[in-house]
Structure 1
């Protein structure tokens, strides 16, 4: 089986000296992408909630010669996310690659301590806050990649529903959070233009990946059904999903590509709702309000103050 870096066509890229953080990297495509970055020469910070799984990934990375460490964090807890960012700042001279990959599909409706619906908080507010905390630590030429999904299609941004779990739908909540991921990545690409250094931001669709561990979040017999699909040739593999992350993260061909949504390892047009610039700006402002922080970057839209 081909490795992710081979599928992405970046096996010849030299990442020596590159400092990378891959969230949600104790399993699935995050783990595969972290290991690929290590083989390319990058030093990698591994993130997750399972210390034993994280330590195992660190061991594999160190076997490739990578300087690696595991940092736990709960994306539903803003203080935990801030601690993760603080550790990254202390452990690195600057961050060259930030892969916002952590997230999940959650069957039960519940709210976090901030009163925000759990799926939206973990899948969107967590990476939003982490990125905000690391903005001044991103190096010139750095890349931010956010794992979204084709599940964003069919969703419209509705920020009134992220404060309640009444009539909760796990499928709607997941698709809505993935729409937020696409909008966030595009808006970040615009707002980082106000920085004194080059930063690119893109989102990706990793594909339908039974072996990623995502199926454990699904109800009833679906996890077993998806596991059975692993052997079928038309189903995306974990390596394929990790390759989707690597293309915008390290490929020389995407160094100046920003504000795009990648699928099948190339920029692809997302849904109409995901191209709504007004919705993206509102999401940015409301996200800051939900977290109780100032918007991390000024509006870079034409005509804005």
Structure 2
């Protein structure tokens, strides 16, 4: 049996008594392992999210067995109303949120637009978490942490907010990489805006590693999913537990409690791509995301935009 993710993250001795958390995308893969680890660490309440109802209830049962209060809420992140409903249920089921893990996402083979005219991958991987976080901002307690699952795949593209409104030149890998760039930019911009607003809430993004057991490979073309599954037995390949440990390190470890606006990889603050350090692009992404969702800009700022750090 492999090591538990909380041990891999060096947080097995952390007491999560009183902690209330939301883990999106927690019916399988690293999200599931993160949620279950929170239960073993003594979390008061964990809201489980996903699209597989049976799997969601199974995670709830496992959490309940640890003594943690758990609730499953299904929601499609490509559906604006469903994300708002998720946020409302979180409000009803918790007193506040201490840790928000924005983990849900995927890579999708076919190009299509969502109901609001946005490319599906960008909507699910970025706009969904953006809307959820914005809607729950006043439900985050002081001292809370927001952890967004990004990827080393963010390296390569630059921000292109025109291309996310069409699919005529769709590339699944470009769309995924671009959405992960958006995740890194979003997390850093959220940190800056929380700080400017005087909120004692941290925001970081995390690269969990390339994980064969995460279920990610089901989105890949042709024979690749079967090939990736065979890698699970290869020593040195990142495991689901390793990936969950990355999230736990950013979300639970005392070592990261006061760190905000950083991108973590291998349990270390790491420099992301140049495009991911462009503060002017991050501001454009933040403002344009609100426009695309037809919501008021959250944590609106009045200072002039910056450039590349």
TM-score, structure 1 normalization: 0.98
Q: In structure 2, what is the Cα distance between the partners aligned to 1:300 and 1:104?
A: 34
Counterpart in 1 of 2:131?
Answer: 129
Deviation string for 1:135-194 (max 9, x for gaps)?
000001000000000000011000010000011000100000000000000000000124
| Preserved contact between residue 148 and residue 204 of structure 2 (Cα < 8 Å) | yes
**Counterpart residue number, 2:27:** 26
- Match runs of 1:72-151 below 5 Å: 72-151=74-153
1:297 matched to 2:294? The reply is: no
Structure 2 counterpart of 1:206: 208
Q: Show CA shifts across 1:186-207 (max 9, x none).
A: 0000001244531000000010
Partner of 2:267: 265
From the superposition, tell whether residues 113 and 200 of structure 1 become closer, same or farther in structure 2 (CA, over 3 Å).
same
Contact 2:280/2:305 (<8 A) preserved: no
What's 1:15 paired with?
Answer: 16
Q: Indicate the residue corresponding to 1:41 in structure 2.
A: 42
Deviation at 1:8, TM superposition (A): 0.1
Does structure 1 residue 252 correspond to structure 2 residue 257?
Answer: no
Any idea what SS the aligned residue of 2:296 has? coil
Equivalent in the alignment of 1:224: 226
The aligned counterpart of 1:56 is 58
Match of residue 165, structure 1, among 167, 170, 182: 167
Unaligned runs of 5+ in 2: none
Query: Residue 284 of structure 1 aligns with which residue?
Result: 286
Matched residue SS, 2:145: strand
CA offsets per residue over residues 243-293 of structure 1, 9 Å max, x none?
000011010111000000000011000000000000000000000000001
Say if 1:95 and 1:139, in contact at 8 Å, map to a contact too: yes
> Which runs of 5 or more structure 1 residues have no equivalent in the other structure?
none
2-structure distance, mates of 1:184, 1:53? 29
Q: Indicate conservation of the 8 Å contact 2:155/2:272, yes or no.
A: yes
Say if 1:83 and 1:113 are closer, same or farther in 2 by CA, change over 3 A. Answer: same
Task: Tell me the alpha carbon deviations over residues 79-125 of structure 1, each in whole angstroms, 9 at most, x when there is no partner.
Answer: 00000000001111110000000000000000000000000000000
Contact 1:211 1:238 in 2 (8 A): yes
| Distance apart, 1:302 and its partner CA | 6.2
Equivalent position of 2:199 in the other structure? 197
Q: Partners of 2:109 and 2:146 in 1: how far apart? A: 29
- Could you tell me which residue of structure 1 aligns to residue 236 of structure 2? 234
Cross-structure match for 2:7: 6
TM-score, with structure 2 as normaliser: 0.97
Contact 1:190 1:300 in 2 (8 A): no
